[in-house]
Structure formats: C-alpha cells, structure tokens
Amino acid sequence: MSGFVDKPEPVEVPGLVHLHTGKVRDLYQNEAGALVMVASDRISVYDWVVPTEIPDKGRILTRLSLWWFDRIADLVPHHVISTDVPEGAPADWEGRTTVCERLEMIPVEAVARGFLTGSGLSEYRASRMVCGVTLPEGLADGSELPAPIFTPATKAEVGEHDENVTYEEVARRVGTEIAAQLRQTTLAVYSRARDIAGQRGLILADTKFEFGFSAGAEGEEKQLIIADEVLTPDSSRFWPAEQWQPGRPQPSFDKQFVRDWLTSPESGWDRASEQPPPPLPPHVVEATRAKYIEAYERLTGSTW
C-alpha cells in the first residue's frame, strides 16, 4: 500500500476538464484540446506523497524545465505551447502552469545513466548488468560508467514501482524503430545536459525522460517530442562535483533531507509498514526548499 496520504480535490476552473491528479502534478484539458499541467508543491518519497508541501517547489521545477527545454531544442522539440495561466484559474497557478501539446505518449520511462547508483546499483550487484547492459567488474556506488547507458523502465501507477526492463523488451513493446529513436535521443539529451551541468560544478548521474509523438497533419510523419518535466532534481540525480567520492552514497540535490528524516528514529515511521509517512518538521521543509533553490541557481546562474 502506498500513494497519497490525503489526495487533494481538483480545482475547478471554467473551460478546463480535470483529467488526473498525479503525485506532484495536476492535469487538465482546455477547450482547444491542449493539456494544462500544474506543478504542485507536493513531494513524493518511497512511493508516498508526503502530507507536507515544499513551498515554491512547483515553480522552481517548472522554471528549470523551461530553461532546459531551451537548451535541448535543437536535439528534440518539446511539448510546451505557452505558460499563460488560464482565465479563472487561482492566482497560485502563476509560474507553475504550462499549456502543452497533447501527445500520443510512449509507455516507457527513458532513463540515461552515466554513473552507478540507485536501482542500477542494486541490479549491478546482483548480476553485473543494468537493464541487460553488461558492465565492468569493480564498480561501486557512485562510480562513473565507461559510457552513458540507456536503461529504460516501464511506467507504474501511483503507489507502484517503475520496473527496469531491457532495450530488447522496449523494442518488443514499441517496435525497433521507435526503441532506437528513444535510445538515441535520450543519450543525446543526457550528454548535452551532463556537459552543461559539468561546467557548473555539478555531476548529472542519471535522469529520466518521457516522450510522445505529435498528432501531425495527415500524411506527415509523426514527430518525437519530449514531454513532462526535464532535468530537474525530481527527475534526475545531480551531485556536487567537488564532493564526488565513489564507494558511498553521494550528497544529492533532491529529496535526500526528506528521505533521511523519514528513515530516522525522529520520524517514528516504519517504511516497511503500510502506514503513511508523518508530516515533515519545519527544519526539513526549509532545508529541502533551500536545496531545490541551490540546484536551480547553480544550473541557471540566475537568482531565485
């Protein structure tokens, strides 16, 4: 059992149809048929949406995604049409809303790894492979891989784990041509982002993308489009390069403060139980917000 501690009621806005409440985003459709994505301040850890929000998180990640979309636009087009807040929407939607092209989504999490950690590390320890890719012996937590690898996963429902799969399994599900396009585009975007982050003293250890196809005019070839959020601390692992030390977990620009507190005696929460996690104390909220802001400022060079 996992998911929402207390699932929020969707906001009603004239002209918008509520489609879905995700872990951290709410999805609507406008009268033109476009999607309206609203990034909340919710935070999810260990497959639970924690009952305490992180102020400004939705705006930080929205602005960071838009910044990245501009820097990868020559590699793959993105789905954002505008950032205009729909008429009649709450003032709080400002800065956290994107109006997006509706795509035919590919049911695969496109993951690129340049360093070994997380579920990839667990797989490597069991089989010396990650998603069917054989890796050298002697790698440790945080080791850099000989070259970035494409390690896809199947998308899970809220409360379920994404499942790592092989490239061959992706090809079987979506076809060899689409699988090849996914792998090539994922690794190209990862490589560009890794280089940009590296110039700013950050290691991009791994990241995940979602892709879909545009409807396209009749007779036109469908175009691969990158969707959702990209290269944020929620979808990627960024590490401070100056503290990188293989053989141990790395300091990370993400939800680590939340994870650490929830698994500490102070929280009193048993991750193995079916009980939802407790609310976060103010010091964890503040430290987590500061980490998101630091990631934004280091990457973009702009002050939040």
CATH number, position 194 = 3.30.470.20
* Distance between CA atoms of residues 39 and 291, nearest Å: 18
Average per-residue pLDDT in the chain?
93
Please list, residue by residue across 99-127, b when 16 or more beta carbons sit within 10 angstroms of its beta carbon and e when fewer do.
Answer: bbbbbeebebbbbbbbbbbbbbbebbeee
For residue 118, tell me if it sits in a domain.
Answer: yes
* Single-letter code of the amino acid located at 232: T
Position 163 confidence tier, pLDDT thresholds 50, 70, 90 = confident
Residue 65 has pLDDT above 50, yes or no: yes
Q: What is the pLDDT of residue 218?
A: 63
For residue 193, tell me if it sits in a domain.
Answer: yes
Angle at 57 between CA 300 and CA 112, to 5 degrees: 60
Enumerate the β-bridge partners of residue 3. Answer: 48
For residue 144, tell me if it sits in a domain.
Answer: yes
Position 283 confidence tier, pLDDT thresholds 50, 70, 90 = very high
For residue 156, tell me if it sits in a domain.
Answer: yes
Q: What is the pLDDT of residue 217?
A: 59
The encoded tokens of residue 157 equal 């429902």
* Single-letter code of the amino acid located at 88: G
Task: Report how many domains make up the chain.
Answer: 1
Q: What is the pLDDT of residue 221?
A: 78
Position 220 confidence tier, pLDDT thresholds 50, 70, 90 = confident
* Distance between CA atoms of residues 228 and 211, nearest Å: 8
Q: What is the pLDDT of residue 170?
A: 95
Averaged pLDDT for residues 22-31: 94
Would you give the distance in Å from CA 277 to the centre of its chain? 21
Q: What is the pLDDT of residue 100?
A: 97
Q: What percent of the chain has pLDDT over 90?
A: 84
For residue 301, tell me if it sits in a domain.
Answer: no
Residue 189 has pLDDT above 60, yes or no: yes
Q: What is the pLDDT of residue 161?
A: 62
For residue 46, tell me if it sits in a domain.
Answer: no
For residue 238, tell me if it sits in a domain.
Answer: yes
For residue 24, tell me if it sits in a domain.
Answer: no
Q: What is the pLDDT of residue 255?
A: 86
Position 43 confidence tier, pLDDT thresholds 50, 70, 90 = very high
Position 257 confidence tier, pLDDT thresholds 50, 70, 90 = confident
Residue 299 has pLDDT above 60, yes or no: yes
Q: What is the pLDDT of residue 160?
A: 57
Range of the domain at 153: 106-215+229-243
Q: What percent of the chain has pLDDT over 70?
A: 96
Q: What is the pLDDT of residue 1?
A: 47
